[in-house]
Amino acid sequence: MADTNTAATLGPLTLLARVPGLKQLLLLAALAISISIGITAAFWAQEPSYSLLYSNISDRDAGEMINVLSASNIPYQIDRKSGAILVPADQLHDARLKLAGQGLPRGSGFGLEIIEGETGFSTSQFMENARYHHALETELARTISNLRPVQNARVHLALPKSTVFLRNKKKPTASVLVYLYPGRKLEDNQTSSIIHLVASSVPELQASDITVVDQYGRLLSSPEDGSNMALNAKQFEYTRKLEESYADRVVELLTPILGPGRVRATVSAELDFTEREETREAYDPQGRVIRSEQLSEDRRMGPGAPEGVPGALSNQPPESGPAAAAAQATSATGQEAGQAKPLNESRRTTRNYELDRTLSRIVQPSGRIERLSVAVLVDNRTVTNEEGETVSEPLTTTELDELTRLVREAVG
């Protein structure tokens, strides 16, 4: 009974120490473990450190790159999680040069280098056009993929066949699919740059005929500028930016007075997007000036031409006797009367005036501010009372009036 109580009071280490030969066995086990750890550390130190060669590559490019590395006797490793290819750090640049010599990685496909291949005499014109078409799409996709938010891109071009008939002529179109990095998005100016990049690379391709979509199926390119949807989106964006600009202006003005984080401002703007165009044309009758004047005057002073009705009577010889004498007297009297005044007189005057003309065209831009509503939230002032405690104290009416005046001056 006493031995049992003694064993219970002794600890387990004391009992193990009383076992014969156990202490030597434990020492040998610890020595073996230490030797194993040392050998493992030595082998690990001798292994080369691997560096990243390429990541985010397609399976086709990865297979071709592994074949090139194996043929060049360059060891490699593949990360099971990301699929990245790792090579020894001291052979990193050699591996990249070897792959670059083989045109790897190709990315989205063969570009213009596909045209550099040898073409036989049996290659048709259709195949050459198809190769050029595919190479142009690939080169555009590579260029778009260089943008920071874009991980990968694909470009599809619809190029109609050239024709000499204007009636059958069709316009080319294009569509761009972009794969964005997680958490990234394309800004409006970046989307516009992609659209104009593609439009400038293809002859007769208009920017309005290009569609940009992301991997989630969202339309990134704006609709036609004349559509109501595009106008509403632009007007809303302009209004939002204007409100944010005024709110930031108010916060920046009051922060030095109240302290950082102690003021909030919200601005609501009412804008008039009605476009007005007015054309006026006015004439001043008092400011007329003679531009040209033409005078024409005809006057005849001699006797007139022979008169009478031609015929047998006028060709007969004059009669003799009292009747003939009376007729001759009458004719002489008429000739004297005709010689006393001109037979014909005319006068014509033509004047061209240059009037004072005023042509004015007034275009009132859209987006005119009709009303601004500003709400400012300010925190109480923090002061220390006589007892040394920090308490908040509301602003006085004079201080609030001064802040109101500053805000009114800031927003205009």
**Number of domains the chain contains:** 3
Could you give the CA distance from residue 100 to residue 69 in angstroms, rounded to a whole number? 12
Could you give the CA distance from residue 238 to residue 232 in angstroms, rounded to a whole number? 10
> 56 and 87: one domain?
yes
> 152 and 268: one domain?
no
CATH number at residue 90: 3.30.70.1530
Decide which of 16 and 260 is more confident. Answer: 260
Percent of the chain with pLDDT over 70: 75
pTM (two decimals): 0.46
How remote is the C-alpha of 399 from its chain's centroid? 46
Question: pLDDT-based confidence at 60, cuts 50/70/90?
Answer: confident
Question: pLDDT-based confidence at 338, cuts 50/70/90?
Answer: very low
- What tens digit of pLDDT does each residue of 218-260 get? 888 875 555 566 667 788 888 999 999 999 999 999 999 888 8
Query: What integer pLDDT is reported at residue 362 of this predicted model?
Result: 82
CB of 108 closer than 8 Å to CB of 152: yes
- What tens digit of pLDDT does each residue of 372-399 get? 999 999 998 888 878 878 888 888 899 9
Query: What integer pLDDT is reported at residue 1 of this predicted model?
Result: 45
> 87 and 150: one domain?
no
Decide which of 61 and 108 is more confident. Answer: 61
End position of a domain, from candidates 70, 102, 134: 102
> 184 and 255: one domain?
no
Residue 88 lies in a domain: yes
Could you give the CA distance from residue 333 to residue 103 in angstroms, rounded to a whole number? 122
Residue 142 lies in a domain: yes
Transcribe 230-293 into DSSP letters: HHHHHHHHHHHHHHHHHHHHHHHHHHHHH-TTSEEEEEEEEEE---EEEEEEEEEEEEEEEEEE
End position of a domain, from candidates 102, 133, 167: 102
Domain range spanning residue 381? 245-273+368-411
Could you give the CA distance from residue 104 to residue 113 in angstroms, rounded to a whole number? 12
> 254 and 195: one domain?
no
> 250 and 205: one domain?
no
Query: What integer pLDDT is reported at residue 144 of this predicted model?
Result: 92
